[in-house]
Amino acid sequence: MAPRRRFKGQGGGLEKSIASQLAKDINKVVAASIQESAVAIANGLVEAGPAWSGEFAASWDVILEGESSRTSRSFGDSPYVYTRRNFPRSRFEKALNSNKSKFSIVNLASHAAEAIDQDRAIFIRPNNDPVKTPELGMGRDNPSFRYEIGDPFSGSLEEAPAARTAEPDWFYTYIEGGPLKGDLRRGVELAFKTNYSFSE
């Protein structure tokens, strides 16, 4: 009986094929995790952050390594709600398969620095009602930080000298206080739950 030969393939072709497919499968898992986490984090930022016109809330995006900023979205009379359509998984799979692994969550609104309480600005009351229920204040100096509205005001929005739609340091609290980690964890868990099942 002739001895069995061990199939090696040409230049380790079989091994390379298996390794390549395994890498793609892993990238699918990672891409799904990025997608679900992006949805959870973007909605977490909307919930925590300010929303007067709605533009800032509708301007969160995930920028891939080497990619330029994309066009911001339309917004209405309620806080924007993000879904998987906002962050197509195919974008992340393509980037990962090209060995690009750097992803940044950014806000594309022109007034993003003021909205996250990084910069002072001269605030002028817009004519439209805010899409979030505001907290009213006795007044502000200009320039000022977004949250600096003075002592509480008990009248109507139309009468209020100043108003805000998010607490002071909301962005820092979200990033450092635990909500970000929670949304990231839920996104990863949802990706595994909806895309993969394990049985004994």
- Report domain extents, the chain: 18-193
What band does 14 get if pLDDT is binned at 50, 70 and 90? low
Q: What is the residue type of 192? A: F
Residue 96 DSSP one-character state: H
The encoded tokens of residue 108 equal: 């594309």
Residue 45 DSSP one-character state: H
The encoded tokens of residue 183 equal: 């949304």
Closest listed residue to residue 30, CA positions, set 82, 104, 91 = 91
Query: Which tens digits make up the pLDDT trace of 104-150?
Result: 999 999 999 999 999 999 998 888 899 999 999 999 999 999 999 99
Going from the C-alpha of 142 to that of each of 62, 147, 160, 187, the distances in angstroms are 33, 12, 16, 40
Separation of alpha carbons 75 and 78, rounded Å: 8
Q: What is the residue type of 151? A: D
Q: Is the pLDDT of residue 7 over 50?
A: no
Asked if residue 161 has a cis previous peptide bond (ω within 30° of 0), the answer is no
DSSP bridge partners of 103:
64
Query: Which tens digits make up the pLDDT trace of 42-95?
Result: 999 999 999 999 999 999 999 988 777 666 677 878 999 999 999 999 999 999
